[in-house]
Structure 1
Amino acid sequence: MLNDGPLTVRALLRAFRWRIALTWMLILFEVALTALVPLFIGFAIDGLLASDTQALFQLIAVLAVLIVVSVIRRAYDTRVFGTVRVEMGKTQAARAANLPVSTLNARLGMGRELADFLEADLPLAMTSLVQLIISVIVLYTFDPVLALAGASAVATMLAIYSLSHGRFYRLNGQLNQQTERQVGILETRKPQSLSTHLTRLRRIEVRISDTESIVYGAIFVVLLGLVVFNLWYATANLTITSGTIFSIVTYSWELVDAALAFPMALQGWSRLSEIMKRINHAVPSDLSKPQADQ
């Protein structure tokens, strides 16, 4: 099903466009319903306080539809992306018949990450974008200042991540190169070589984790500041009901939750960019040359 071109995310989207389009449509419908739930909860609170149950039944209807769509979408996802992984593996094996087994084994695992990105990371970014848009629109209807605060927080978050993109790409390249050596090292049956290999993997993984911790810590501080500011501004400057307060706080937190998904997707793309370059390169890297610790 895949043509003779490079194995990339775009190639997979082209080969499986209709199947993937359907699952993404279900995802967007699901996230749109999910994003509306806090608003309907706020309406239900105000309605029940006024002894009106109409909004409550509307909330129940939305939740019922959400459950049905979620179940159908998850069952369909598994089948679609399972097929993508099978075709990806078959194509890689056919094109890389002359590669050492160690390299081919590692790259088959890396190739599956393209399907993982399409199944998890990219839909996460899409759903987060929908949540962000809905959250900003709803906050704007309450007060433009609330929406402006949310947009400013997201812009700051993206700026923080952009500073770490190069480091994520470089560290993932080191991790993938070391992984390609693994089968060859195991075949030597030398405990010292295996210990050195595993130690290098651990050291690179620690560097990636430390970078993630710093980036996500900085982003989380910005986004929590948004929630605190919006809560303070709403209670100090607006005349609103209990249900509206709930909706403002909830949508501010929804914006935080959605915004945090973007760095995850961007980090996944950083790793995937290195993987696509690697698996489309017919000649393996010099696996016999020890990788210097950094």
Structure 2
Amino acid sequence: MQTHEIIEPVNVTGSAVNTLKNIGRRHYRKLFFTLLLVIAENVTYLLYPLLAGFAINAIVAGKAWHAVFYALMVFTMWVIGAARRSLDTRTFARIYAELAVPVIVAQRRENHSHSTVAARVALSREFVDFFEKHLPVLITSLASITGAALMLLAIEFWSGIACLAVLVFFSFFLPGYTNKNEALFFRLNGRLEKEVGFVSSAPVASLSRHYRVLAGLRIRLSDREAMGYLSIGAVTAVLFAMTIFTMALRGGTDAGHIYSVMTYLWMFAMSLDDAPQLLEKYSQLKDIGKRVKTDPI
């Protein structure tokens, strides 16, 4: 029976980092304002647990107007978030419209098949998605992780130290985790590139095998992400237990302080929880960058 091999070596002259830099240089004004709003959002996120703690203590003390100030903070967060979401669509829809044509021209210049060109244009959308979706998440995660750890160092010192120890612990596993992801995306994207041409001529048995392999690769990536979440959850549970136990033994802590500490711990944990998905996206973009040329026309 005839077999169809759809994976071939990729052009390694491309680079995800170079492509992202080129997009950043060409559209730096648009990106500056969107990222400025992302940073403003993160400043409000970092301040709100502390202000919420003050509001709780003000409520307990019967200082109504001091407590109501927290509502103004909440409204400010939503105003900034609404402005960012409105600007995002306008910015990134136009960036992708300008990116697609150079991608098509670059792939045509190298005499790739129509299916490869179509697949690579679709893959190039991932670079725009990085700026639109994943870069804000990355900024938010880094700001929240470092901000929460620093805030905890200031208000609950040993919890802050524990957060820093968690970061050091997970850093040892990063190289192996990302290398495995890159190998899986190499195989996945290699198949996706040839899918259009493949499905038009391959026999049923080969098609079935093709989609079984695609499903298997996606399941393996998902399982790795799930294991990352589980590992983070286990370490986070220990972090919470240590902090709660320490505060309970010490006693005499006011409600506002407890709320602030617990919220900063959640901020740290939820931002750390984004790491598996962000690392997966990094591996995907690194492989796409070897395949897709986005040189200006």
Q: Under a length normalisation based on structure 2, what TM-score does the superposition of the two structures give?
A: 0.88
> Which residue does 2:185 correspond to in 1?
172
> Which residue does 1:65 correspond to in 2?
76
Task: Identify if the C-alpha distance between structure 1 residues 134 and 281 changes in structure 2 by more than 3 Å, giving closer, same or farther.
Answer: closer
The CA distance in 2 between the partners of 1:26 and 1:215, in whole Å, is 30
The CA distance in 1 between the partners of 2:141 and 2:223, in whole Å, is 25
Equivalent residues of 1:44, 1:55 under 8 A apart: yes
Shift in Å, 1:26: 0.1
Q: Deviations over 1:23-81 (max 9, x none)?
A: 01101101211222222221111111110123322111111111111111101011111
Q: Map of 1:47-66 to 2, 5 A cutoff?
A: 47-66=58-77
Equivalent residues of 2:225, 2:276 under 8 A apart: no
Shift in Å, 1:170: 0.3
> Which residue does 2:9 correspond to in 1?
none
Equivalent residues of 1:42, 1:243 under 8 A apart: yes
Equivalent residues of 1:158, 1:263 under 8 A apart: no
Q: Map of 1:163-202 to 2, 5 A cutoff?
A: 163-188=176-201, 190-202=203-215
Equivalent residues of 1:32, 1:131 under 8 A apart: no
2:162 is the alignment partner of 1:149: yes
Task: Identify if the C-alpha distance between structure 1 residues 238 and 21 changes in structure 2 by more than 3 Å, giving closer, same or farther.
Answer: farther
Task: Identify if the C-alpha distance between structure 1 residues 82 and 236 changes in structure 2 by more than 3 Å, giving closer, same or farther.
Answer: same
Equivalent residues of 2:102, 2:294 under 8 A apart: no
2:249 is the alignment partner of 1:223: no
Letter in 2 for 1:260: D
2:247 is the alignment partner of 1:208: no
Query: What secondary structure does 1:240 align onto?
Result: coil
Query: What secondary structure does 1:163 align onto?
Result: helix
Gaps of 5+ in 2: 1-13
The CA distance in 1 between the partners of 2:278 and 2:219, in whole Å, is 20
User: What is the count of residue pairs matched by the alignment?
Assistant: 278
> Which residue does 2:171 correspond to in 1?
158
The CA distance in 2 between the partners of 1:171 and 1:273, in whole Å, is 12
Q: Tell me which of 76, 81, 93 is aligned to 2:87.
A: 76
Shift in Å, 1:249: 0.9
Task: Identify if the C-alpha distance between structure 1 residues 281 and 131 changes in structure 2 by more than 3 Å, giving closer, same or farther.
Answer: closer
Shift in Å, 1:191: 2.7
Query: What secondary structure does 1:280 align onto?
Result: coil
Letter in 1 for 2:203: K
The CA distance in 2 between the partners of 1:146 and 1:238, in whole Å, is 16
RMSD in angstroms over aligned alpha carbons? Answer: 1.9
Equivalent residues of 1:185, 1:193 under 8 A apart: no
The CA distance in 2 between the partners of 1:109 and 1:235, in whole Å, is 54
Q: Under a length normalisation based on structure 1, what TM-score does the superposition of the two structures give?
A: 0.89
Structure with the greater relative contact order (CA < 8 A, sep ≥ 6): 1 or 2?
A: 2
